[in-house]
Amino acid sequence: MIKWVVFVIILCGFWACEKTIQVQPDQQPAKLVVEAQIESGQAPAVILSNSLNYFSEIDLYALDHSYIHGAKVTINNGTASYVLTEDSFPLSNGYSFYYYTTPQSVLSGEFGKKYTLSIETGGQVYHASTTIPLLTKKIDSVWWKKAPGNVDTSKVVVMSRVTDPPGFGNYIRYYTSTNGKDFLPGFNSVFDDQIVDGKTYDIQIDQGVSKNENLKRDEYGFFKRGDTVIVKLCNIDKATYDFWRTWEFTYQSVGNPFSSPGKVMGNISNGALGSFCGYAPQYKQLIIPK
C-alpha cells in the first residue's frame, strides 16, 4: 500500500512540472500557385494565385486578393508559342474569377500532343509540361441498377464496362454531371491499370462531389431515378495522375491524426505549387427512368 502511495505522489510531481508550450507558426513567404489545364478540343485555362499561410483567415476578400494579374503566360504546342490573355467572369458579392486563356480558334488541345507552359511573374520564370494522351482506355457502355441493400427505392447506382488496352501506363480521371450541372470529380477520381491491364471489366461509377462541401455519407455515390447522367472519362499522363492521387490523399487525410504525412506532387518548376494537366475526354450519357 505504501508503495502505491509513493508512486502516486511521484506521478503528481511529474504532472505538476508540466509546462505550457506556445507554438508560434512561421509566416512563410507566398508562393506561386498554378492551376492549369488543356483538354482536347478546348482552349487552355491557367489560374494564377499566391499561396496563403496555413493559419490564414480565408474568405472571399482574401481569395480575391490572392489572384496574380499581369503575368506573361505562354503555351507551346511543339509547333508554335501562344500568349494567353487574362480574362474573368463575375461571381457573387461583386467579386470575379480570373484566369488566363486564348480563343479556342487560336489554340485548342489535340490528342497525342505535348504542351509546355511558361509563366513570367514577379521577376521569376516557371515552366511545366503535360501531354494529352491518345484516347485508348474507353467506356464501352453504362447502365443503372437498384442500389444494393438500400431501402430507398429512389436511389440507384451507375455501372460501366471499361476496356483497358494491353500494356501498363494507362491512367484515367473521371467526372460526372447530373441533370446538366457542372462536372464534378469522384471522391477518388484517378486510377491506374496495375490490376486491370489489358482487361475489360465492370465497375461502379460514384457520383462526383464538390470538395468545397461536406460529404454526405448516406448520399455519397448514389444517383436517383429520373436523373440524366453524363460520365466523363479522361485519359491522363502519369504526372497528372500523380498530382491528383497525392492531392486527394492529402485532402482525405486532413484532420486524421493517424494518417501518414503526404506531399502533393506538382509539376511546376522553381518551387511553385500546383500542376499543368492534360486531358483526353470521352463522354457517355445515361437517362435513368423515374
Per-chain mean pLDDT for the chain:
89
Please say if the pLDDT value at position 10 is more than 50.
Answer: no
**Residue 114 contacts by C-beta under 8 Å, 6 or more apart in sequence?**
77, 78, 129, 130, 131
Specify the pLDDT at position 252. 86
Please give the share of the chain, as a percent, with pLDDT higher than 70: 87
**Which domains does the chain show, CATH number per domain?**
32-132 (2.60.40), 138-237+281-287 (2.60.40)
Specify the pLDDT at position 256. 61
Lowest-pLDDT range of 21-30, 120-129, 177-186: 21-30
Specify the pLDDT at position 255. 55
* Residue 173: all three cell numbers together: 480521371
Higher pLDDT, 20 or 243: 243
Lowest-pLDDT range of 4-8, 35-39, 257-261, 266-270: 4-8
55-110: pLDDT as tens digits: 677 787 888 889 999 999 999 999 999 999 999 999 888 899 999 999 999 999 99
| pTM of the predicted structure, to 2 decimals | 0.87
What are the backbone angles phi and psi of residue 251, rounded to the nearest 5°? Answer: -60, -45
Please say if the pLDDT value at position 244 is more than 70.
Answer: yes
Specify the pLDDT at position 26. 61
Specify the pLDDT at position 8. 44
187-235: pLDDT as tens digits: 999 999 999 999 999 999 999 999 888 888 778 899 999 999 999 999 9
Higher pLDDT, 278 or 1: 278
Specify the pLDDT at position 6. 44
